[in-house]
Chain A
Amino acid sequence: MNGTFLGMPAFPEAAREAVRDERLRGNLRHATHTIRAKRAAAVAEVSDWAELREAGRRIKDHTLRHLDRHLLRLEESVTAAGGTVHWAADAAEANRIVTALVRATGESEVVKVKSMATQEIGLNEALEAAGIRAYETDLAELIVQLGDDRPSHILVPAIHRNRAEIRDVFRSEMAAWGRPAPEDLTDSPAALAEAARLHLREKFLRAKVGISGANFMVAETGTLVVVESEGNGRMCLTLPETLISVVGIEKTVPTWRDLEVFLQTLPRSSTAERMNPYTSLWTGTADGDGPRAFHLVLLDNGRTDTLADEVGRQALRCIRCSACLNVCPVYERAGGHAYGSVYPGPIGAILSPQLRGTASGIDASLPFASSLCGACYEVCPVAIDIPEVLVHLRERVVQGGPATREGTKVVLRPAKGHAAERAAMRAARWAFGRPGVLRTGQRLAARTRRLHPRTLPGPGRAWTATRELPPVPAEPFRDWWERTDGGRNEGDAPQDPEETK
């Protein structure tokens, strides 16, 4: 994935900084709570939401099961409509293809929209290395680009910024990228939007090459779909002479009719709207209308490996609505950057370690970046059981096990640093297999309870740094049960050895 994320610290360390950043927590709290309430209301309006969710799940599952077939169909339809299809096995190949396509046009500037897949592969950096400048045109992505920042949310990549910060970024950076922001720019939303509009318009009117992603690709017709709120996407998709779309293979749906389900569930789940303000659909090329040339780069980059995993493959159902981020209490405190990936939040915690593998520290820590509260599963419009996949990936990290890497079945070794935990878990299971041992341990704890330290060493320190420990009772329940014959003969409580001294 994106080179800028390499060398990220593991999630707990990255989150620690974010938790302490009061301003960031305030921004995130405000944004997620607002959208959370709106989404709930938008979903409640639909009487058949449960059925739509189930339909979405089934369409996606079915498509994924026969993805090879649907992709070939898609290639055929796109080609028949005048487009050209390219297959990219990984990030490097995709970047090579796109760079060559842009070079062939002789241009050194491109406009981009809806391009999470291109962030995943680090396309902007690759283009820059080839002397091509890429301009992000989605408002939030523009803010991220101008601020030399990283996206922290699927839908609102600049969610971690407030208006005043955005104004400061516009004022100081816009000039270096094109039309400068007005001298007297205020932080009112209208003023900020107008500054961005003028800045971007200049780009749209000049650009000869556009690069996009897509929300859906319809196999039967070869149609690509982008849904958005700003209209910038439509400019990007229609004004340039050449359009290059880089799309993950899992975005395929078999038929035009399948869109019906997702065009209902996606807007309500993501922006709490009944319908997207702009839904752009295009099929190949047409004379005198839109781009002259259309290229579709189908991106694998770990997706077929993910598909090979029975439990984990459901992550590929994701339609990137971001509802799971907005409802996640961990995302709310840790922020999107802590996930070290363009896919943050609960979906990122299960998608990134599958696409990239669990070898790095950050990827091995992501499956643990959840309290398993289940709120993400509850809101997901395609019913991805995120907690189930998290636990499945935890198993892969701590125990190792079978996985598919670059099309080959491998047996992964456990990630480093879990040996002590594994031993402790084994010991606990051993003791729990023997009630007598458990009782001895309980009695020992009860007898020494006055001696227990108030702060613990090792992993226990994490507990006592912020929370008091519960006092150990004088008598565990099972001893009380036996002593009193199930509560029938309450006698004297046992003497506390410390008190009788």
Chain B
Amino acid sequence: MRVALFLTCVNDTLYPDTGRAVVRLLTRLGVDVDFPVGQTCCGQAHYNTGYRHEAEPLARRFAEVFGGYEAVVTPSGSCGAMVRELYPRMGERARAEGRGGALAAALAPVVPRTYELTEFLVDVLGVTDVGASYPHTVTYHPTCHGLRGLGLGDRPLRLLRAVKGLDLRELPGAEECCGFGGTFALKNPDVSAAMGADKVRSAESTGAEVLCAADNSCLMHLGGTMARLRTGMRPVHIAEILASTEEDPLS
């Protein structure tokens, strides 16, 4: 199976380790991974801040770059939700505003073939035990767009529970937003920071060493908050935990 990795601009620029982990993990599972270099950004920040028209060309580009693949995999719940939930809406709005159905038509085949990483593992590959080993205490934060936008459910937890040596701690108030919210973090910094601090404190209360999520944007906000609050916890993307093995452990 030949799949395209849609890494997202944040991961590409700031979290290349997550991308490498996805490649390692999928290759280990026998998947042929390609990274189309024409990819850039899903346009989520534009769309959600009110610049829908700036996001449209990026959606069109997405359709062009990823159109020819059997499946597209992304290690980001929010960018995954952007593609699956909001791209079709953008296509419909373009049509309704008399700009034709070209965008909707271009997106139609690629949108349903786009998967968030844990979804792809569980639903498409049909695995929950990916042969990983990670002997640490971990608590998992289900990010909002993964939870409500994509409906990831307990897929990430099932994957984590199957990891050798991993001690999974339940996160109190797990379904509460961490306060990142893209440009919300800049436009409403006080509320955003208060939400982040509360999330970090409840993660800390579990006694876990690692806070795991399936979205580096939220982890960037939470990791930055942890560092400032000097909690000693680390933010780690789920892909890196799932890529970690006994022979080649995540340091």
Which A residues lie at the B interface, using CB under 8 A?
11-12, 15-16, 19-20, 25, 329-330, 333-334, 367-375, 377-378, 388, 391, 393-399, 421-422, 425-426, 428-429, 431-435, 438, 442, 445, 459-460, 462-463, 465-470, 472-473, 475-478, 480-482, 486-487
**Is B94 an interface residue, CB under 8 A from the partner?**
no
**Chain B residues in the interface with A (C-beta under 8 A):** 7, 9, 11-17, 19-20, 23-24, 27, 33-35, 37-41, 43, 45-55, 57-58, 61, 89, 144-145, 148-149, 175-177, 179-197, 220-221, 223-225, 227-228
Closest chain B CB from A405 CB (angstroms): 19
Of A367, A373, A445, A475, which is in contact with the most chain B CB atoms at under 10 Å from its CB?
Answer: A373
Are B196 and A487 within 8 A (Cβ)? no
Q: Is the CB of B40 within 8 A of A433?
A: yes
Query: Within the assembled complex, what's the spacing in Å between the Cα atoms of A333 and B195?
Result: 8
Cβ-defined contact, B190 with A12, below 8 A: yes
By the criterion CB–CB under 8 Å, are A399 and B188 in contact?
no
Question: In the assembly, what is the distance between CA of A465 and CA of B186, in Å?
Answer: 11
> Which one of B13, B16, B144 contacts A373 once the chains associate, using CB atoms below 8 Å?
B144
Known: A372-B48, A473-B17. A16 touches B38 (CB 8 A): no
Does A466 lie within 8 Å of B51, measured CB to CB? no
* Additional 19 contacts, C-beta under 8 A, given A428-B45, A475-B16, A476-B12: A15-B188, A16-B190, A19-B190, A368-B188, A371-B182, A375-B175, A395-B52, A396-B50, A425-B51, A426-B54, A432-B9, A435-B39, A466-B193, A470-B15, A473-B15, A476-B16, A477-B35, A481-B19, A486-B33
Chain A nearest CB, measured from B40 CB (Å):
4
A-B pairs with beta carbons under 8 Å apart, 11 shown: A333-B195, A373-B176, A393-B50, A394-B50, A425-B45, A433-B57, A438-B40, A462-B189, A470-B223, A472-B14, A477-B7
- Is A398 a contact of B190 with CB atoms below 8 Å? no
With a cutoff of 8 Å between Cβ atoms, the chain B residues found around residue A473 in the complex are 14-17
B148→A374 contact, CB < 8 A: yes
Contact status B9-A459, CB under 8 Å: no
Main secondary structure of the interface of B (DSSP, over half): helix
Residues of B within 8 A of A395 (CB): 50-52
Are B46 and A428 in contact, with the CB atoms below 8 A? yes
Q: Which of A334, A393, A432, A438 contacts B43 (CB 8 A)?
A: A432
**A426 contact set on B, CB distance < 8 A:** 54
**Quick one: which of A394, A431, A432, A486 contacts B49, CB cutoff 8 A?**
A394
Q: Are B181 and A477 in contact (CB under 8 A)?
A: no
Q: What is the CA–CA distance of A487 and B23 in the complex, to the nearest angstrom?
A: 8
Contact of A476 with B186 in the complex, beta carbons under 8 Å = no
User: B51: which A residues are within 8 A, CB to CB?
Assistant: 395, 398-399, 422, 425, 429
Cβ contacts under 8 Å, A422 to chain B? 51
Given the interface contacts A333-B195, A371-B180, does A477 sit within 8 Å of B12 by beta carbon?
Answer: yes
Q: Give the docked Cα–Cα distance between A486 and B2 (Å).
A: 13
Q: Is the CB of B39 within 8 A of A442?
A: no
Are the CB atoms of B50 and A399 closer together than 8 Å? Answer: yes
| B220: A residues at CB distance < 8 A | 470
Residues of A within 8 A of B7 (CB): 477
User: In the bound complex, do residue A12 and residue B13 qualify as a contact, i.e. CB atoms below 8 Å apart?
Assistant: no
